[in-house]
Amino acid sequence: MVSSDTFRRGLHKGLSTTWELGKVTVPLYIIITLLKYSGILPHIARWLSPIMSIFGLPGEAAVPLVTGYVLHLYAAAGAILSLDLNAREVTILSLMLCFCHSLLVEGAITRKTRIGALPLTVARLASSLAFGIGLNLVL
Amino acid sequence: MILNWELALTEGFIGALRGVIDLAKIVVPIMIGLEILRDLKVLDRLAGVLHPTVKFMGISKEGTFPLLVGIVFGLSYGSGVLIQAANEGKLPRQERYLIGMFLSLCHAIIEDTFIFVALGATPLILVGFRLVPAVVFTWLLFLAFRRWSFAGGERVSGRSTV
C-alpha cells in the first residue's frame, strides 16, 4: 500500500542519489572547466576528433563517454553539462552511454547473478558503438 | 592564453551546482514515483499481462517479473529479484542468462532516460533504441541455447514450443 512512508523513502532515495551524484559531478565539472580554460581540453579534443566524428560527436565528447563507461551516468551527465553540446549530440551520446555505463560497478552486480561479466560487457560496448554510428547516420 | 583561475573556478562551481540542482529536480520526483509504483505492486500485475510479448525470447511467466523490475527499477533491484527467484528454484540457469543479457543492455529506463532528457536528449530515441538490441541479443542467445541444448536445455527447448 502507498503510505507516507512511500513518499519518505522516495524523497530519501532521491536526495541521497543527488548527494552521490553531486560528489562526483561538482569536482568533475570544475576540472573540465579548468581544462577548457587552460587550453588542454581543446588540445585533447583536436586529437580525438577523428575518432569521435564517426559518431557525429566533437572530440571533447570523449570525456563524458569514457567517464560514463568507467564511472556512472551521473558523472557523465556532469561532464556533458560542462561542455557545449547541441541536442543532437547529446542524444547520440546519451544513447551510447545508456547501453554501456558503470562497467566497474555493474560488472560486479552481474557477476553476482553468475552470468559472465565479459560477454555482457562485450555486448554492451558493441551496442554502444554500433548505435552511436547508426544514430549518427539516421538522425 | 593566460588562464584566469578565479573566473574558471567560479564558472565551474556555479555551473556544477546549477547542474546538480537541475538533476535533483528530476531525480527526486522519479524516485518518489518509483516507490509508489513499487508499493502499488504494479509490476506484479503487469508481469502476467506482458508475458506473451517476451515468451519468444525464452522468458517464462516467473522470469517476466524480475525482467520488468530490472527494466523499470534498475540492475541492482532486478538482479536482487533474479537471485531470489533463482534461490527458490523457479528459474532455470539458461533463463537467468537470458534475463541478465536483456537487463545488462536495458535497465532503469525511467531514471536513465530522464537524466539525459534533462540535458536535452530526445526521450523516445533513448527508450526505443535501447529496447531493440536488448531484444535481439536475448533472442539470439535463446536460439543458441536451443541449438546447443546446454545442460538442462530440455527445459528451454520445451518452453519454446509451448
The tens digit of pLDDT for each residue in B85-109 reads: 888 888 888 898 899 999 989 999 9
Give the one of B12, B38, B115 whose C-beta lies nearest to A73's C-beta. Answer: B115
- Quick check: B19 pLDDT over 90? no
Chain B partners within 8 Å of A122 (Cβ): none
Q: Is the dihedral of CA A24, A97, B103, B131 positive or negative?
A: positive
Contact B120, A94 (CB under 8 A): no
Chain A partners within 8 Å of B129 (Cβ): 95, 131, 135
Mutate to test the interface with B, among A115, A122, A128 (most CBs of B within 10 A): A115
Phi-psi region of A81 (alpha: psi -120 to 50; beta: other; left: phi over 0): alpha
A 10 A CB-CB count for A139 gives 13
Q: Which of residues 6-35 of A touch B (CB under 8 A)?
A: 6-7, 9-11, 13-15, 17-18, 21-22, 25-26, 28-34
pLDDT at A114: 65
Phi and psi (nearest 5°) for A87?
-60, -40
Q: Which residues contact A98 (CB under 8 A, 6 or more apart)?
A: A73, B112, B113, B116, B126, B130
Give the Cα separation of B112 and B95 in Å (integer): 25
Count, residues in chain A = 139
Q: Say yes or no for a CB contact (<8 Å) between A39 and B1.
A: yes
Contact A130, A100 (CB under 8 A): no
Q: Which residues contact A134 (CB under 8 A, 6 or more apart)?
A: none
pLDDT at A129: 96
pLDDT at A112: 67
Over the stretch B52-86, which tens digit does the pLDDT of each residue have?
999 999 999 999 999 999 999 988 888 888 888 88
CA of A80: which chain B residue's CA is closest?
B119
pLDDT at A78: 87
Chain B partners within 8 Å of A15 (Cβ): 24, 28
Global pTM? 0.84
Over the stretch B110-158, which tens digit does the pLDDT of each residue have?
999 998 998 899 999 999 999 998 999 999 999 998 888 755 444 444 4
Residue segments in chain A with a per-residue pLDDT below the cut of 70: 112-115
Count A/B contacts: CB-CB distance under 8 Å: 185
Give the one of B20, B24, B129 whose C-beta lies nearest to A95's C-beta. Answer: B129
Q: Say yes or no for a CB contact (<8 Å) between A81 and B125.
A: no
